[in-house]
């Protein structure tokens, strides 16, 4: 009996530590847990994917080295339905602070929406994008954000200080 309780205590303690660090991913519509078994082999173990699955932080956010690739990924895979600036088209706008699914306010939630899809034309992306490309598309969605920096919870405090809300008609924006 004593032996068993010790095992239980270790399990609870161990589990607690893991849960505190590792984000959990759930289907945006039905809340079922997501695992990434179906993800494409390619792009599974990049530095960005490993970091993201462990911490929920997307190191591509506002990372100048990948912004061009992020933009291209979004323009190829998302802009047809969500608009060139994320202003909304067939699909809802992605560049303001209104979300049909509030979990998209976080990058863990946004990633879950991409991986597992939502309803109708927003199908799951696991068959068309690698996990790494999902993080790139997300970084461009976040770059297109037109809201105030202090509502951009996906950015670090330092990044929030630097962040300029996107101006869709501004012309000279990147
Ligand atoms: C074929 C059209 C289509 C494509 C391509 C598409 N989407 Fe969507 N998307 C939709 C539709 C329609 C919805 C609304 C679905 C719903 O409300 O359940 C949606 C919903 C979403 C939402 C939820 C928005 C909210 O307000 O909570 C996000 C986030 C999103 N899409 C991101 C993306 C990204 C990023 C890409 C590219 C990787 C993409 N979508 C590609 C059509 C599309």
The residue whose CB lies within 8 Å of the most ligand 1 atoms, and thus the one to mutate among 29, 121, 122, 133, is 122
User: What's the Rg (C-alpha) of the chain?
Assistant: 18
CATH number of the domain to which 35 belongs: 1.10.760.10
Distance 52 CA to ligand 1 centre (A): 21
> What tens digit of pLDDT does each residue of 109-149 get?
999 999 999 999 999 999 999 999 999 999 999 999 999 99
Nearest residue by C-alpha to atom 7 in ligand 1: 122
The residue whose CB lies within 8 Å of the most ligand 1 atoms, and thus the one to mutate among 60, 91, 107, is 91
pLDDT of residue 169: 72
Q: How many domains does the chain have?
A: 1
Could you say which residues of the chain have pLDDT below 50?
1, 8-10, 15-19, 172-174
Report if residue 2 sits inside a domain. no
Under 8 Å CB-to-CB from 79, ≥6 apart: which residues? Answer: 86
Report if residue 141 sits inside a domain. yes
Distance 53 CA to ligand 1 centre (A): 22
Q: Please give the model's pTM, rounded to 2 decimal places.
A: 0.89
Residue ranges around ligand 1 (CB below 6 Å):
77-78, 80-82, 90-92, 94, 99-101, 104, 110, 113-114, 118-122, 125, 137, 141
Report if residue 132 sits inside a domain. yes
Distance 103 CA to ligand 1 centre (A): 13
What pairs with residue 33 in β-bridges? 26
Under 8 Å CB-to-CB from 54, ≥6 apart: which residues? Answer: 21, 22
pLDDT of residue 4: 52
| CA 102 to ligand 1: nearest atom | 27
pLDDT of residue 151: 95
Question: CA torsion sign, 83 to 87 to 91 to 94?
Answer: positive
Structural domain containing residue 87: 9-171
pLDDT of residue 19: 46
163 dihedral zone (left: phi>0; alpha: psi -120 to 50; beta): beta
Report if residue 3 sits inside a domain. no
């Amino acid at each position: 009996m004593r032996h068993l309780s010790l095992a239980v205590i270790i399990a609870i303690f161990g589990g607690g530590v893991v849960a505190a660090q590792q984000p959990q991913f759930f289907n945006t519509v039905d809340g079922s847990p997501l695992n990434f078994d179906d993800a494409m082999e390619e792009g599974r173990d990049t530095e960005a994917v490993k970091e993201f699955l462990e911490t929920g932080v997307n190191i591509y956010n506002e990372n100048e080295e990948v912004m061009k690739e992020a933009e291209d990924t979004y323009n190829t895979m998302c802009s047809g339905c969500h608009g060139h600036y994320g202003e909304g088209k067939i699909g809802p706008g992605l560049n303001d602070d209104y979300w049909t699914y509030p979990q998209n306010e976080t990058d863990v939630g946004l990633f879950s929406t991409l991986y597992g899809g939502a309803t109708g034309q927003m199908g799951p992306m696991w068959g068309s994008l690698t996990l790494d490309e999902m993080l790139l598309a997300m970084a461009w969605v976040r770059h297109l954000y037109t809201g105030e920096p202090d509502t951009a919870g996906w950015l670090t405090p330092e990044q929030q200080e630097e962040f300029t809300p996107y101006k869709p008609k501004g012309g000279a924006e990147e």
